[in-house]
Amino acid sequence: MSAAVLLVDLDAFYASVELRRHPELHGRPVVVGSAGPRGVVMSATYDARACGVHAGQPVGRARRLCPQAVFLPPDHDEYALASTGVMELLHSLARKVEPVSLDEAYLDLAGVPGDPLGLARHIRAAVAAEQSLTASVGIGPSKLVAKLAATAAKPNGLRAVAPAEVADFLRPMPAAGLPGVGERTAELLGRFGLHTVADLADTPRATLRRMLGAAAGDQLHRLAQGVDERPVVPYRAERSLGAEHTYPADTDDPEVVERTLLALSGATAARLRAARLAARTVTLKIRFHDFTTITRSRTLPEPVDLARDLHAAAAALHRGLHLQRARIRLVGVRAEGLVSAAGRAVQPALGEREHGWREVERTVDAVSRRFGDGAVRPASLIDHRPTGRPGHPGSASSVGGRTARTSGEWSIAPSVDPSTTGRRTV
């Protein structure tokens, strides 16, 4: 195991962080999920999972399955803080660390002195001592084996698979456990009697290519043989940033949609500036009441990092669809084609003042850092309830039976007395 891959997977991460903050809930089923009739489960303790609750499930169904559970809203800032602590530990132990999510990371052990099992035990003990969290760890000769070994070790376990043991380890596993085998692919494989990795490994590659297509068939054949040549990548540049919002009830009001797009554009632009990135392409995502989803994109003449520019492109894409009161469930804004904004000279558009929107939005960033997200926002979003987290702009409901029109004017939201009606524009 001198050249091995190690995967650290934090157990029931979001729920475990909540238990760390609320020790009185230990021993009770806990579910973390978004509030509202369309909220989904982000994480659940193993007590709740025993009742059939799992991530991605509607919160309403989770309540019916486990009415005795404690349901908590997510706190993304707390989860990011816990994740940062774990990732700093891992980076201190290995030169090549590839985080794949807040609660998962691969380590390349090539050149790392010592015994991989000893290192895994040290990581689990340190995570428990420093973060009061449990981690399951898998070790194998590849990412595939390390991932499946960590899954087999859950919860709070350790599993190492040597190269000579890979075939015996993989063959009994369900085919659905392999990367890229989703629900539909698993159903298709099942119709042909292919239920386990052994079934796939014993199927000729040509047969899998006919069933799934050349690329998918080849990949599945390699994985079933235990072949996975993906390296651990220490740094992966973010290819896109974005935010989405699901409405509590379907909306067919185009003005409500455009106000939501403004909020989403603001959240996305703030993340771009924080990462010192700019976007060449803006993508609009719309999901209708029947879950049909469409996307439309527009490439801009110059990379942008301002909410004003993102919203202008997203709103133009929305208007160009001519939806005619279509019932919309979800909208999203995504910035793509990212480039570094560090040192990039910004050329004002013809007729534009030298000091304008860029200074306004940078001022908004500074105020938000000091007073919290939502302290300053466009005037048309005053009735939005800010959540304090990028990507969750609040519901785009109307006030007093009227929907405010989208505006580029920024206002200071009341932070002391919620009944205050006066606003000062920035």
* Tokens representing residue 290 in the block: 């029947």
Cα(123)–Cα(77) distance, rounded to whole angstroms?
23
Measured CA distances, 250 to 280, 288, 290, 333, 391 (Å): 31, 8, 10, 18, 19
Catalytic hit among 18, 98, 104, 258: 104
Q: Based on the residue annotation, tell me whether 255 is a catalytic residue of this protein.
A: no
Measured CA distances, 169 to 135, 198, 223, 226 (Å): 21, 10, 13, 10
- β-strand partners of 410: 378
What angle separates helix 205-212 from helix 214-224, to the nearest 10 degrees?
Answer: 140
Cα(164)–Cα(52) distance, rounded to whole angstroms?
36
Whether the CB-CB separation of 69 and 109 falls below 8 Å is answered with: no
Cα(311)–Cα(318) distance, rounded to whole angstroms?
10
Instruction: Quickly count: other Cβ atoms within 10 Å of residue 99's Cβ.
Output: 18
Q: Report CA Rg, the chain.
A: 24
Residues ≥6 apart with Cβ < 8 Å to 42: 14, 32, 33, 34, 55, 74
Element (H, E) at 411: strand 410-412
| Sign for the pseudo-dihedral over CA of 134, 139, 142, 148 | negative
In angstroms, how far is CA 273 from the centroid of its own chain? 19
Whether the CB-CB separation of 244 and 332 falls below 8 Å is answered with: yes
Burial 293-305 (b: 16+ CB within 10 A, else e): eeebeeebeebbb
27: left (phi over 0), alpha (psi -120 to 50) or beta: left
Half-sphere exposure of 88 (CA within 13 A, CB side): 8
- One-letter amino acid at 207 equals T
Torsion on CA atoms 54, 58, 62, 65, rounded to nearest 10: -100
Any idea which residue has 């929107």 for tokens? Answer: 357
- One-letter amino acid at 154 equals K
- One-letter amino acid at 156 equals N
Active site residues: 104
